[in-house]
C-alpha cells in the first residue's frame, strides 16, 4: 500500500477520534477497571427514573399493607372492624355491604376501605347442578334462592322433601351432570358433606371437595380446580353456607403450577379407567 494512502487513512482516524472525544462529556467516559477514584458512568441502571404523574402511576405497585382482610365476606359487621386502629386499612370484597354499626366505626376511626376486585369469572352466570339428601334438603332450598340472587341458573336433581333417601343417588346425579357438561359446576348437601364427596369423586372427570370453611373452599378451587362442592348441613350454618358458596364460585385456578398438579390428578384417574 502506498505511503500517501496510509498517511491519509491515519489522519482520518485521528480526526474521527478527536471529534468523538470532543462530543462526549467527561461524565460519560468509562472508568478504568478497578479504579475507585473514577466516576461512575451514567447508564440506564443508575440514572434517576423519569417522573410519573399520579394518574399514570399504578396503585397496585405501591399498595400499602392492610391491617385486616375480610374480603371473603359479603357483609361487614361491627365485629369485623372492632379492634382496628385509627386510620387502619381494611380489605373487603368489591360488593360487600357494611352494617350501620360497622359503618359508624369506619367513619369514627377513619378506616380506609380497600375493595378487592372479584376474581376472574366470578361475574359470569353459570349453570349449577344442585342436589341433597333429606338432611340437606332445607339448606338446598336456601342455596337455590341464593344462587338465583347471584344470577346463576340452577338445575335441581333432588331430593324434594325431608323423606329419607340415600345421598349417593343425588351426589351421583349432580356429578354426572358436571362430567357430561350439562352443568358448569355442582353443589351437593348431605349431613356432613363427606359421603357425597366420596360418591361424586367416583365419576371420571369430577373433582369434588368437601368444604367446611371459606379458606378451604377458596383453596379447593384455586389449587385443585374442584368442580363439585359438597357441604354438610349439620356442620355449617346457612350464613356460612352462603359465604362458602360465594367464594367458591368466585375463585378460579390461575397459576400454572397448580394446573400442572391437577393434570397429574387427571393422569392418575386415567390409569384406572376401564
Q: Please state, in angstroms and rounded to a whole number, the distance separating the CA atoms of residues 64 and 35.
A: 41
Active-site positions read: 223
The listed CATH number (3.40.1400.10, 3.90.1150.10, 3.40.50.720, 3.30.310.80) that belongs to domain 127-260: 3.40.1400.10
Q: 244: pLDDT confidence band, cut at 50, 70 and 90?
A: very high
pLDDT per residue as tens digits for the range 158-182 = 999 999 999 999 999 999 999 999 9
Q: Is pLDDT larger for residue 119 or for residue 84?
A: 84
- Residue 97 pairs with which residues in a beta bridge? 75
Distances (CA, A) of 56 to 44, 52, 171, 175: 21, 6, 51, 48
User: What is d(CA 242, CA 179) in angstroms, rounded to the nearest whole number?
Assistant: 24
Reported as a single tens digit per residue, the pLDDT across 75-96 is 788 888 888 999 999 988 766 7
**Which range has the worst mean pLDDT, 42-46, 82-86, 194-198, 208-212?**
42-46
Angle at 185 between CA 179 and CA 191, to 5 degrees: 100
Domain residue extents for the chain = 65-116, 127-260
The pTM of the full predicted model, rounded to 2 decimals, is 0.58
Amino acid at each position: 500500500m502506498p505511503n500517501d494512502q496510509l498517511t491519509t487513512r491515519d489522519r482520518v482516524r485521528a480526526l474521527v477520534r478527536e471529534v468523538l472525544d470532543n462530543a462526549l462529556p467527561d461524565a460519560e467516559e468509562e472508568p478504568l477497571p478497578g479504579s475507585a477514584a473514577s466516576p461512575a458512568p451514567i447508564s440506564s441502571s443508575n440514572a434517576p427514573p423519569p417522573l410519573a404523574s399520579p394518574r399514570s402511576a399504578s396503585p397496585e405497585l405501591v399498595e400499602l399493607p392492610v391491617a385486616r382482610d375480610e374480603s371473603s365476606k359479603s357483609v361487614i359487621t361491627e365485629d369485623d372492624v372492632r379492634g382496628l386502629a385509627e386510620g387502619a386499612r381494611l380489605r373487603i370484597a368489591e360488593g360487600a355491604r357494611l352494617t350501620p354499626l360497622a359503618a359508624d366505626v369506619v367513619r369514627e376511626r377513619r378506616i380506609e376501605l380497600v375493595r378487592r376486585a372479584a376474581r376472574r369469572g366470578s361475574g359470569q352466570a353459570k349453570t349449577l347442578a344442585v342436589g341433597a339428601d333429606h338432611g340437606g334438603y332445607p339448606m338446598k332450598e336456601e342455596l337455590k334462592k341464593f344462587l338465583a340472587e347471584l344470577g346463576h341458573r340452577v338445575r335441581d336433581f333432588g331430593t324434594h322433601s325431608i323423606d329419607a333417601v340415600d345421598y349417593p343417588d343425588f351426589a351421583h346425579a349432580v356429578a354426572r351432570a358436571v362430567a357430561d357438561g350439562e352443568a358448569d359446576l355442582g353443589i351437593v348437601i348431605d349431613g356432613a358433606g363427606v359421603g357425597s364427596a366420596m360418591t361424586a369423586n367416583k365419576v371420571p372427570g369430577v373433582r369434588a371437595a368437601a368444604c367446611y370453611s371459606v379458606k378451604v373452599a377458596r383453596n379447593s378451587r384455586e389449587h385443585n380446580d374442584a368442580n363439585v362442592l359438597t357441604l354438610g348441613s349439620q356442620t355449617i350454618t346457612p350464613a356460612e353456607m352462603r359465604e362458602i358458596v360465594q367464594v367458591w364460585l368466585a375463585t378460579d385456578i390461575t397459576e400454572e403450577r397448580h394446573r400442572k398438579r391437577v393434570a397429574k390428578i387427571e393422569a392418575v384417574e386415567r390409569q384406572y379407567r376401564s
